[in-house]
Chain A
């Protein structure tokens, strides 16, 4: 069936390095993608989103890249800080006859070493 998945379940980086978190999706009808950050014991928090008619979107220290040819999404975090340590989820929005809803991947644990 359709699914959203992540290539790497864990990622460890040094403070100041750039981080790249990857996500694969299989539903070509997905029209919108979101990256969420979830700190321990908290609910997911929106980071950045991108529509399917875009290839790249930049925020503050974060960039999302979308490659529709290979159905791949990535989140790049520049100058990673200890406060970036969290689980990161990608989610795709799928339009259905009953409406649209987000489907979440399993998440990648990012650990930033000081």
Chain B
């Protein structure tokens, strides 16, 4: 299994631009999560999904949107990029029977 994969690895956006961060997992996990990690800080939950067709807001959802049309994919959309969204974004997934989350390698996003 490849586990959790994220693309792109790095991206620079101008203020006001839009982009989609891709996340795919091949472990057939129902639960998927998006976190952001600011420098020297812990992870903050943006959005999560308990299964295809179901999404819910986390701690810091403003400025983001998600969709979950399949079990494997959980893209994160930034509609109007702002400098405050400069961060490293991690996608994670888990089985329904455990709480352990498996993380992707992250996407480093800079908004200037």
Residues of chain A at the chain B interface (Cβ within 8 Å): 4, 32, 34, 41-46, 49, 89, 93, 98-107
| A44-B43 in contact (CB<8A) | yes
Task: Please choose the segment from B11-19, B71-79, B98-106 that sits at the chain A interface, where 4 or more of its residues have CB less than 8 A away.
Answer: B98-106
| B106-A89 in contact (CB<8A) | no
Chief secondary structure at chain B's binding surface: strand
A107–B40 Cα gap in the complex (Å)?
Answer: 8
Residues of chain B at the chain A interface (Cβ within 8 Å): 4, 33, 35, 40-45, 48, 50, 56, 58, 90, 92, 99-106
* Complex contacts, B101 vs chain A, CB 8 Å: 34, 46, 102
| A101-B43 in contact (CB<8A) | no
Q: What are 19 A-B residue pairs whose CB atoms fall within 8 Å in the complex? A: A34-B99, A34-B101, A43-B4, A43-B90, A43-B103, A43-B104, A44-B43, A44-B103, A45-B103, A49-B100, A89-B43, A100-B99, A101-B45, A101-B48, A102-B45, A102-B101, A106-B40, A106-B41, A106-B42
A32–B92 Cα gap in the complex (Å)?
Answer: 18
B43, B58, B104 pick with most chain A CB within 10 angstroms: B43
**CB-based nearest B residue for A98:** B56
CB distance from B60 to the nearest CB of A (A): 12
CB distance from A108 to the nearest CB of B (A): 10
A102–B42 Cα gap in the complex (Å)?
Answer: 12
* Complex contacts, A98 vs chain B, CB 8 Å: 56
| A49-B99 in contact (CB<8A) | yes
Please pick, from B33, B45, B106, the residue contacting A42 in the complex, using a CB distance under 8 A: B106
